[in-house]
Structure 1
Amino acid sequence: MIHVRHTAVAVVPVDLAFAHIDDYRNVPDWMFGITRFDPLGDPDRGLGARYDTTMQIGPKALKSTVEITEWEQDRLITLSSVAGFGNRSTWMFTPVGDDHTELSVDFGYELPGGLAGRALGKLVEPFVVTAIKQTEANLRGQIEAAGR
């Protein structure tokens, strides 16, 4: 399992930061490498919502079905894979004053064993570090612009 943790502060109230991340329609715009994030029935938000996703890593498209397994308004969203490429991401939101939000994310990716897993690991590991930094920059820029 590859784990990457990242924290940043956005100049936006916690409710706006949470609402932006919680809206599945925004995900391909801010999450680096995500080319598809489509709801699978009802609910399409909150605990139990499921999404069909595709992450493009170089020439490789990794498909996964993810489910929101933890959800607390303005505090926490966890997405866990239930099929396909194994992954889990937890987003935590902490108010810092009235108009700043600390965004913390913990990404974890499971790779298959054997030669295929090692080959994929060599492709994925550098991508993950770049993806986290780009995702955070994209997300912070979008939610700060929306908050103005």
Structure 2
Amino acid sequence: MRITVATEVAAPPEAVWDSVSDPAKVLHVMSGITRWEPQHAREGPGGSAAVPASAPAVGLGARYRMLMRVGSAEVGSLIEIVEFCPPFDLAWTSVTGVDQRGRWRLRPRPHDGRGPRTHVEFRLAYGVAGAGLLGWLAEQVAAPQVSGHLRSSLAQLKRQVEHDETRRAAAERRRARAAAAEAAAAAIPAAPPPG
């Protein structure tokens, strides 16, 4: 099953990227995700490395345990980041568990007098490999809920990033006013002492 959702965010790609690429922020943005845990080197069954010692915590090659609530179950995979091109593309694929591929795609939009804007596309392809008819049926039953999670994720991302951008712009305006007031105060000559 392949699902794609998109929206426009009133912020530059760098601001959106910060929310989709930071593992600490993923649970705040992605609806339905119950786990997004960095997986560091550790031993798997039989003493083999479940996650290579060379796997970074963030970026290309990073691995995460990702679980999504679908109905009453949490389903997911060990995923690996296979594309990490700041601030435009982040993609992952499953290593174990449910077969899945996901992608965040961020593209700047031309300035139209309203400030920077970013087109955000979120894609998720998933399947139950080798499960035949029952796997296909499970995919079809899960599709509306997974699609809803993706749409909710985009709405939350838009709210969060635009709120953060509003706060950042307000802080810049306050700093500029304070600097202007300080400069104006410094430009006023001191009054001569009386008498």
TM-score (normalised: structure 2): 0.71
Match of 2:78 in 1: 65
| Unaligned ranges ≥5, structure 2 | 41-54, 167-195
- TM-superposed deviation, 1:85: 1.0
User: Hey, what's the Cα distance between the residues in 2 that align with 1:105 and 1:53?
Assistant: 16
Match of 1:37 in 2: 36
> Out of 59, 62, 81, which is 1:49 matched to?
62
Matched residue type, 1:36 = R
Aligned length: 147
Greater helix content:
2
What is the correspondence of 1:1-148 to structure 2 with a 5 Å cutoff?
Answer: 2-41=1-40, 42-96=55-109, 97=111, 99-112=116-129, 113-148=131-166
Cα root mean square deviation, aligned: 1.5
- TM-superposed deviation, 1:101: 0.7
Identity within the alignment, %: 27
- TM-superposed deviation, 1:110: 1.2
| Unaligned ranges ≥5, structure 1 | none
User: Hey, what's the Cα distance between the residues in 2 that align with 1:87 and 1:59?
Assistant: 20
- Mean Cα deviation higher: 75-84 or 125-134: 125-134
Highest CA radius of gyration, 1 or 2?
2
- Mean Cα deviation higher: 14-23 or 91-100: 91-100
User: Hey, what's the Cα distance between the residues in 2 that align with 1:38 and 1:116?
Assistant: 29
Higher relative contact order (CA 8 A, sep 6+): 1
Greater strand content:
1
Moved over 3 A (4+): none
